[in-house]
Amino acid sequence: MLQRIAELKKEKNAVILAHNYTCPELQDLADHTGDSLELSRIASKTDADVIVFCGVHFMAETAKILSPEKTVLIPDKNAGCPMADTITIEKLRLFKAMYPGVPVVAYVNTTAAIKSEVNVCCTSANAVNVVRNIDSDTVLFVPDRHLGAYIGRQIPEKKIICWDGCCPVHNRILATDVINKKKMYPGALVVAHPECPADVLELADIIASTSGMIREIKNSDKNEFIICTERGLIHQFAKNSPEKSFINVNPVNVCPNMKKMTPEKLLHCLETMTDEVVREDSVIKNAAKALERMILY
Ligand code: 13P
Ligand code: SF4
Superfamily of domain 173-248: NadA-like (3.40.50.10800)
Ligand nearest to the CA of 214: 1
Burial 147-184 (b: 16+ CB within 10 A, else e): bbbbbbeeeeeeebbbbebbbebbbebbbebbeebbee
Where are the CATH 3.40.50.10800 domain residues in the chain? Answer: 2-80+258-278, 84-167+287-296, 173-248
pLDDT at position 46 is 97
Determine which residue's CA is closest to atom 6 belonging to ligand 2.
81
Helix (H, G, I), strand (E, B) or coil at 208: coil
What are the helix (H) ranges across the chain?
2-11, 24-29, 36-45, 57-66, 89-98, 112-115, 127-132, 145-154, 168-171, 175-184, 198-202, 210-219, 233-240, 263-272, 281-294
Determine which residue's CA is closest to atom 6 belonging to ligand 1.
36
pLDDT tens readout for residues 262-282? 999 999 999 999 999 999 999
pLDDT tens readout for residues 206-260? 999 999 999 999 999 999 999 999 999 999 999 999 999 999 999 999 999 999 9
Please work out whether the CB of residue 82 comes within 6 Å of at least one atom of ligand 2: yes
Ligand nearest to the CA of 209: 1
Superfamily of domain 84-167+287-296: NadA-like (3.40.50.10800)
Q: Which of 23, 58, 62, 83 to mutate to test the pocket of ligand 2 (most atoms within 8 A of CB)?
A: 83
**CB 212 within 8 Å of CB 35:** yes
pLDDT tens readout for residues 156-197? 999 999 999 999 999 999 999 999 999 999 999 999 999 999
CATH of domain 2-80+258-278: 3.40.50.10800
Question: CA–CA separation, 214 vs 219, rounded Å?
Answer: 9
Please work out whether the CB of residue 257 comes within 6 Å of at least one atom of ligand 2: yes
* CA nearest neighbour of 177 among 153, 194, 196, 164: 196
Confidence tier at 121 by pLDDT (50, 70, 90): very high
pLDDT at position 202 is 98
pLDDT at position 195 is 98
pLDDT at position 246 is 98
How far is the centre of ligand 2, averaged over its atoms, from the C-alpha of 4 (Å)? Answer: 30
pLDDT at position 95 is 98
pLDDT tens readout for residues 103-119? 999 999 999 999 999 99
- Distance spanning both ends of the chain, measured CA to CA: 38
Q: What is this structure's pTM?
A: 0.97
Please work out whether the CB of residue 147 comes within 6 Å of at least one atom of ligand 2: no
pLDDT tens readout for residues 27-72? 999 999 999 999 999 999 999 999 999 999 999 999 999 999 999 9
